[in-house]
Amino acid sequence: MTEERENHVPYSEEPVDAGETEEKREYVKPSERMFETEKDVERVILMGVSRPPSQMRYETDEHLDELELLAETAGAEVVEKVFQNRSAIKVTTFIGKGKAEYLAERCEDLNVQTVIFDDDLSPVQQRNLERALNRKVIDRTALILDIFAMHARTNTAKTQVELAQLEYLLPRLTRMWTHLSKQYGGIGTKGPGETQIETDRRIVRDRIAHLKSKLARIDRQRETQRKGRQDITRVSLVGYTNVGKSTLLNMLTGADVLVENKLFATLDSTVRSVDVEGHDVLFSDTVGFIRKLPTRLVASFKSTLDEVVESDIILHVVDVSHPHFKEQVDVVRDTLRELGAQDKPTIMVFNKIDRLENTGSMAGLKEEYPYAVFISAARGMNIGQLRTAVLMLLEEQHREKEYEIRPPDFALSAEFHRLGRIIEEKYEEDHIRIRCVLPPDAEQRLLKQHAEKLRVV
């Protein structure tokens, strides 16, 4: 009743508890009665382990700098970074006993709530570390999943992230039920802890199956949409996270994709149509890549990343002002290789040249990357050069070629009809001659698969 009266009575008429003395009685504004809802910033320590010679200290420093950006994106305050050199990882706690004790002391001294490891932890290592530190312990994968969950906006992105989170959570469920671990043993005394764990696992597995089925439907829908766009050239923007892909897409197409100076600000694939000198071109933005990108995310975001696999041209966007941009290029190339898109015609787009202190380095990059354009998407610098480079590749892809199938193979001829634009087809006694326009990746695949029957005339 008191709360109901507080919601309706003006603050000027609402006294404090009537049992108080006259001297203490006063009027209180509703704003003074409200609970403080501002969330405290989570204080964290970052933990990195160098393993010479496979990973040297300077590499660990670089990885922890990136981990710090990830933590700040998640809303945490990094108060310290801790390192350890180890020749071998400890199976039970990942780090050594002495370093774990040191971490526990630093957590107490700095009032830290969470410790974030740069490497993946097994469920056993995570549980043992939380007991040793008396703090929450997460790894890089859990942090990235949390950021993805924060930035998921559409139903598809939310489904993809939830699936990855549940698959990560499933083997770690046991540590969530430690409060049920104290129970009597013996026949007929099976405690509620195990029952609850199994029930929870079953719920999670059922949810995972439901989400996979839902994503399969999304895959089929997007595949149908892509089939409807086969006659249109598709260009995908790929790159490390936060290199300016969304800014570039906005500049090229006039789209209104969200642009933030944060890691993984864009999760959903955005597709926009643009006329490039008479050619209809579909430009698509994709989720940014990052080193140690969890395999669960790559699998969950298959429907989004298929835009890259099905594209005709790739614009590999690079933040040339980043001190370690070449390592980022390698990460993106490795991810494209995992997706099977490493042989796509690619233009290297070196972005943010306006931030370069020494522009002389661009000359060396031009020699190293022949198909390269240097731009500033934010300032609109050299966007015309990029359009010209895309147009040159478009004209190359739309060039007519003549193929000879010997001996006649009608199934192979049907493949040409399915994949390309047929201009002329002649059936001779001992061969079939087809003049058409084929996408480069389709041409390479057909020539490789049917090397004995097919040749370019």
Band of residue 433 on the pLDDT scale cut at 50, 70, 90: very high
Pairwise CA distance, residues 363 & 361, whole Å: 5
Read off the DSSP letter of residue 90.
Answer: B
Q: What is the CATH number of domain 399-456?
A: 3.30.70.240
Q: What is the CATH number of domain 42-147?
A: 3.40.50.11060
Q: Give the residue from 403, 395, 397 showing the smallest Cα distance to 424.
A: 403
The arithmetic mean of pLDDT across residues 329-338, rounded, is 90
Pairwise CA distance, residues 127 & 175, whole Å: 6
In this structure, whether the domain defined by 231-396 belongs to CATH 3.40.50.300 is answered with yes
Give, to the nearest 10 degrees, the angle between helix 57-73 and helix 140-151: 30
Instruction: Tell me if the bond preceding 10 is cis, omega within 30° of 0.
Output: no
Residue type, 1: M
Write out the H or E segment, with its range, that includes residue 63: helix 57-73
Helix (H, G, I), strand (E, B) or coil at 432: strand
The arithmetic mean of pLDDT across residues 76-87, rounded, is 93
Contact 317, 248 (CB under 8 A): yes
User: What's this model's pTM, rounded to 2 decimal places?
Assistant: 0.72
Query: Where along the chain do its domains lie?
Result: 2-33, 42-147, 154-226, 231-396, 399-456
Structure-token pair, residue 210: 């439901």
Average pLDDT over all residues of the chain = 81
Cβ partners under 8 Å of residue 106, min gap 6:
45, 80, 82, 112
Structure-token pair, residue 256: 């209104």
Contact 147, 263 (CB under 8 A): yes
Positive or negative torsion for Cα 239, 245, 246, 250? negative
For 90-129, write each residue's pLDDT tens digit.
999 999 999 999 999 999 999 999 999 999 999 999 999 9
Q: For the chain, how long is the longest CA-to-CA vector?
A: 113
109's torsion region: left (phi>0), alpha (psi -120 to 50) or beta? alpha
| Predicted pLDDT at 231 | 62
Domains 42-147 and 231-396 share a fold: yes
